Amino acid sequence: MSDVLGATGLVLNEPLLWEKGQPGRRGFSLPARDVEVSPLGESLACRGPDFPDLSEVDVVRHFTRLSTWNFGVDTGTYPLGSCTMKYNPKINDKQAALPGFSAAHPLLPQELSQGLLRLMFELEHLLAEITGMDAVSLQPAAGAQGELTGMLLIHAYHKSRGRKPSKILVPDTAHGTNPASAALCGYRPVPVASNEQGILSVESVAKAMDDDTAGLMITNPNTLGLFEENLKGIVDLVHARGGLVYGDGANMNAVLGIMDVGCTGLDVLHLNLHKTFSTPHGGGGPGAGPVCVKKHLEPFLPVPRVLEKESKVVLSDNFPQSIGKLHAFYGNVGILIRAYSYIRTMGAANLKRASQLAVLNANYIKERLKTTFHLPFDRPCMHECVFTDKNQEAAKVMTLDIAKRLMDYGFHPPTIYFPLVVHGAIMIEPTETESKDDLDRLIHALQAIAEEAKSNPDLLHQAPTKCKRRRLDEVAAARKPVLAG
Ligand SMILES: Cc1ncc(COP(=O)(O)O)c(C=O)c1O
């Protein structure tokens, strides 16, 4: 009986809609019929699935309750940072929902899509201006697809010069998608070790670079949250040996208005709109990973290109050297509208300020926690800082335990065990939107967890203890996911 009445005060179990439905319930009411019944023809008779009968309130409560079981960036402090997505101002969703945008069909004649095409044209130019590059394609659907596009562009460039190099250099700090994208394009990714400061040195690249190398992929700031200080020397070296340099610009949210990528000599760069320009991305998309290039790669960009002709915006396929299409139609346009809205509502000065605040917040956390958790690279960081579980090793408490316990304190766990070059990595990216109060709450929670690791390590081994689900067998959860309850 106490189960039925919910003796804890909060009933956290929710049946499936099929279990909840009762014959005869309705979520709508229609006026009484005032015409004769006219049976549908055989071909029109409804033979769909047997949907449950539910009232409006049944449905609203069901989905509202399910939504409270999740922790997202709208729920509270989210130290996973922009990796999934940073906080998205709601005005951007509102703009994307304007009927002129949301109801536009991709097959609409171009003369009837001038508003949307103009937005895409302007967004390309805004991204070119922000990065200091010459031309942009908005087509790739995610960062990883942007990387693949970049690899295809580099391949097309070498091919146009009669070259067929087979390797791409990739730093050991790179996101896993970097070597995967290179391999997908037929290149052999060759790892290059970063130095004791956590960045690439000109010397290590020089050692790996040879005539069979198509180029280098470099992430700046890198995934340790560190600025690649030798970037210019590295780019010059790769160019001198006939290679091109791909910039993984996923972390541009640390350097907006501060670093002119074009001046560093990078040939191609992708942006992750979810990380830098506040668009949704969770669960792998749909997202957008625009690619920005210097002049010499422009002829190879995907088609259709968005061009301006006689004050009209038009789509053109007339680029004979293009690598072709990367996405149906023009990419995930709803995401592009949000990014455009973010850039226009922020303006240049506030984009720069967002990067400055993201860097300030990460450095604040780093300084406040570096005596509690081991900090492998004790130097100024950019938008994220990386600790490890080394100080908790003696108590047999690991990174996973710390991350799970953070959920008991009401925080989303940070990125863990990445980047791979740091054993037991705990990567914290606060982003620019967190207030000092919220950062302090996170810092206090992590300090309390470090104390618990000493006094009651079992508490951490069992965490989370206050969530709807206790700790999962992660292998079983991945191999045999139970998606229904
Ligand atoms: C540094 C870096 N490169 C590449 C990617 C891949 O981007 P996406 O998840 O959009 O494919 C990410 C993910 O956010 C990233 O952090």
Mean pLDDT check: name the lowest of 41-55, 266-280, 410-424: 41-55
Under the banding of pLDDT at 50, 70 and 90, the label for residue 41 is: confident
Question: Which ligand 1 atom is nearest residue 146's CA?
Answer: 11
Cis, bond preceding 464 (omega within 30 deg of 0): yes
Q: Is 417 left (phi over 0), alpha (psi -120 to 50) or beta?
A: left
d(CA 107, CA 38): 37
Tell me the pLDDT of the chain averaged across its residues: 93
CA 82-87-89 angle, 5° bins: 140
Ligand 1 pocket, mutate which of 84, 86, 177, 277 (most atoms under 8 A from CB): 177
The class that CATH gives domain 92-345 is: alpha beta
DSSP state of 374: B
Residue 277 Cα to chain centre, angstroms: 10
**Which pTM was predicted?**
0.91
Is residue 483 very low, low, confident or very high in pLDDT (cuts 50, 70, 90)?
confident
Position 47 scores a pLDDT of 64
For position 6, what pLDDT does the model report? 43
Is residue 322 within 8 A of residue 302, CB to CB? The reply is yes
**Ligand 1 center from residue 399 Cα (angstroms):** 22
Cα of 143 from ligand 1 centre, angstroms:
5
Q: Judge whether 267 and 243 are in contact, CB under 8 Å.
A: no
Let me know the angle formed at the C-alpha of 353 by 171 and 436, rounded to the nearest 5 degrees: 95
Q: What is the mean pLDDT of residues 305-322?
A: 97
CA of 111 to the centre of ligand 1 (A): 35
Local confidence band at 71 (pLDDT 50, 70, 90 cut-offs): confident
Q: Is the pLDDT of residue 485 over 60?
A: no
Hey, which residues does 415 pair with through a beta bridge?
Answer: 427
CA of 113 to the centre of ligand 1 (A): 31
Confidence of residue 189 (pLDDT cuts 50, 70, 90): very high
Contact 288, 312 (CB under 8 A): no
Spell out the alpha helix ranges (H) of 209-268.
231-240, 261-264
Alpha-carbon span 195 to 407, nearest angstrom: 34
- Answer yes or no: is pLDDT of 45 > 90: no
Ligand 1 centre to CA of 249 (Å) is: 9
**Ligand 1 center to 350 CA (angstroms):** 24
Compute the distance from residue 271 Cα to the ligand 1 centre, in Å: 9
Atom of ligand 1 nearest to the CA of 284: 9
Residue among 84, 175, 326, 427 to mutate when testing ligand 1 (max atoms within 8 A of CB): 175
- Output the CA 251–ligand 1 centroid distance in Å: 9
pLDDT at 272 over 60: yes
Q: Is the pLDDT at 2 greater than 50, yes or no?
A: no
pLDDT mean over 313-328: 96
CA of 388 to the centre of ligand 1 (A): 22
Q: Is the separation of the CB atoms in 328 and 307 below 8 Å? A: no
Residue 74 token pair: 């709208």
Phi (first) and psi of residue 412, to 5 degrees: -75, 140
Could you identify the atom of ligand 1 that is nearest to the CA of residue 83? 14
Mean pLDDT of 275-304: 89
Encode pLDDT of 53-65 as tens digits. Answer: 999 999 999 999 8
Ligand 1: which residue has its CA nearest to atom 14?
Answer: 83
Q: Work out the average pLDDT over 386-414.
A: 97
Domain assignments of the chain as residue spans, ordered by start: 92-345
Which of 348, 282, 362, 367 lies closest to 84 in space, CA to CA? 282
Atom of ligand 1 nearest to the CA of 145: 11
Q: Which atom of ligand 1 is nearest to the CA of 142?
A: 10
Burial (Cβ within 10 Å: 0-12, 13-18, ≥19) of residue 32: exposed
Shortest-distance Cα residue to atom 9 of ligand 1:
143
Element (H, E) at 135: strand 135-137
> Shortest CA distance to 259 belongs to which of 298, 232, 291?
232
Protein residues with CB under 6 Å of any ligand 1 atom: 83, 142-144, 175, 177, 219, 223, 248, 250-251, 272, 275, 287, 289
CA of 228 to the centre of ligand 1 (A): 18
Percent of the chain with pLDDT over 70: 95
Q: Whose CA is nearest to atom 10 of ligand 1?
A: 143
